[in-house]
Amino acid sequence: MIMPALNTGVVSLIRLPPCSPALNPVEDLWHDLRAPHWSNRPYRDYDELREEAVRSLCAVREDTGTIKTVCNAPYI
């Protein structure tokens, strides 16, 4: 599924060095989720954690400023 898209020239594959979280924009997203939403909070059980994860992902999705910041890597 990925290889046909790469062959069309629509998608570019960017190889990142191993163990380079500073170059991975998704790491910024995880930071934005952990810091205000998930850190230092006890959860009763897995279901409560899962509900909070869904709520947090939806909140970040609606925050266009965060999405623009996360995707603002100079090499993208």
Angle at Cα 22 formed by Cα 18 and Cα 24, nearest 5°? 70
Give me the pLDDT at residue 27, please.
80
Domain of residue 43: give its range. Answer: 18-70
Q: Closest Cα partner for 67 from 23, 34, 21, 33? A: 33
Asked if residues 67 and 61 have their Cβ atoms less than 8 Å apart, the reply is yes
Domain contains 34? yes
Q: If pLDDT is split at 50, 70 and 90, which confidence band does 2 have? A: low
Give me the pLDDT at residue 41, please.
83
Domain contains 11? no
Domain contains 1? no
Provide mean pLDDT across the span 54-72: 82
Domain contains 62? yes
Which one-letter amino acid corresponds to residue 41? R
> pTM for the whole thing?
0.55
Provide mean pLDDT across the span 48-74: 83
Number of domains in the chain: 1
